[in-house]
Amino acid sequence: MAATPLHYQSIPELGRALRDGSLTPLALTEALLARIDKLNPALHAFKVVTRERALAEARAATERLRAGVPLGPLDGIPYAVKDLYNVKGEATTGGTHLLEDNIAAEDCPAVHRLARAGMILLGKTHTVQFAFGGVGINHDHGTPHNPWHQTPHAPGGSSSGTGVAVAAGLVPVGLGTDTGGSVRIPAALNGITGLKTTIGRIGRAGVYPLSWTLDSVGPLARTTEDCALVYMALQGEDAADSTTAGVAPHDVLPALPRGVQGLRLAFCETMLFDDVDPEVGEAVRATADVFAKLGAPVGRIEVPEFAEAFNFGRRDLFVAAEACHYNGALLDAHFDALDPAVSHRMQSGRQMTATDYFTLLRRWEDLRRSLLETMRDVDALLVPTCQVPARPIEVIDADKGAYTQYNLKYLRNTSVGNVLNLCGTSVTCGFDATGLPIGLMVYAKPFAEDVALRVAHAYEQATDWRLRHPALGWAE
């Protein structure tokens, strides 16, 4: 088998080369910066490239490794962050030109933790305006280009730029946020891996909020192991985020090589397979054969809490109401200057009464408790990440009705996981007839990231989907 190109190597592969001296962090960083310079004009993944910071961090990492004192397995590995994360000296714009002067005074805790692990920040990636959308379209800063098709297709939102950057080999790993699927959707549509973490695992301070009740932080990377390594560095109590209080970090790495034998897996038949694209349904169902060979026959289970969370929920209105808390002044002062795909939906949040808001919170708590009882005899649920693969932007953005329809197709299966407080991993499980990726989502119980990662890793190692990469001749 031909050697994997440098820009598509996993973190362990890059780490081995960095440790044996055949590659330096500086050389790796310079190679990726050159690739960004070459491809980003067409892909539109990066909002800003932090070149000077990246080179300074790369030089420091190179010296540490030469001296034989690495900071850990991530030392010398480049990464990117979604343009919601505060990075010292850079604007946190949240996808709108109205916040170009919102310069961060300090790195947010997540960026600080990765810097402490020796990682090298290459820049900030584009996002849907205010992170409010599953398609990935931004009419203000521009929409990242899904690398799997020359014609613009949905990159998935809202961590659109991060998904495109990782899939196109501009960076090995990047950080996203997930309020209703914004890590898992771009992972699925771009053919990479994404981890949605349980709220409380990773501090969210200094990350521009959409919905404090549902926001979570998570990595997008080439492989499940890559996600696990970055997740390990991000965990820990954060005094500025009360949800992390008392949540002890856990080591997910020992579980990865254990496989799935003995785990109880099931297709979640309630709603999440309804109205999916036939190729998506076929690809996800076919994973049962792989898991059976690995020693974990896949059963089937009805989970009524998913349907109730979706049908009762009014989740979109709830998120819009919380988003109005953060962005109400911009809505009032600059409504016509905001992205219409976002502003009208966000404005609707003002229709939610306080009574409806608290009623919904209490009902979600009931459903979360009920779900744990339903999943008592199941370790992980297997479902399609999205109902359909990436579709052409021209089709999705033809009118408000089309946008609303596709936004729901991308968000339905992921958003109910946020409502029910599950963690989950999206991993590629096939490609459709046009060569566009299909995602399998592994849902695990709250704070069971080790299980979600273990199941996804076992599947990933038993298949070769992760070894496929987009042909980017058109972007050069």
- Residues annotated as catalytic (active site), given as ranges: 82, 158, 182
CA–CA–CA angle 364, 380, 285 (5° rounding): 110
Length of the chain, please? 476
User: Which pairing describes strands 217-221 and 173-177: parallel, antiparallel, or unpaired?
Assistant: antiparallel
Tell me the two tokens of residue 157: 């939102």
- Which single residue is written with the structure tokens 């196109």? 168
d(CA 453, CA 276): 24
Tell me the two tokens of residue 337: 């200057």
Starting from the edge strand earliest in sequence, which strands make up the sheet with 78-82, in order?
46-49, 120-125, 78-82, 173-177, 217-221, 193-196, 423-431, 437-444, 380-384, 265-268, 298-301
Neighbours of 251 (CB within 10 A): 10
Nearest to 64 by CA among 109, 30, 115: 115
Contact (CB, 8 A) for 396 and 406: yes
Contact (CB, 8 A) for 172 and 220: no
Rg, the chain, Cα only: 21
Nearest to 361 by CA among 424, 313, 395: 313
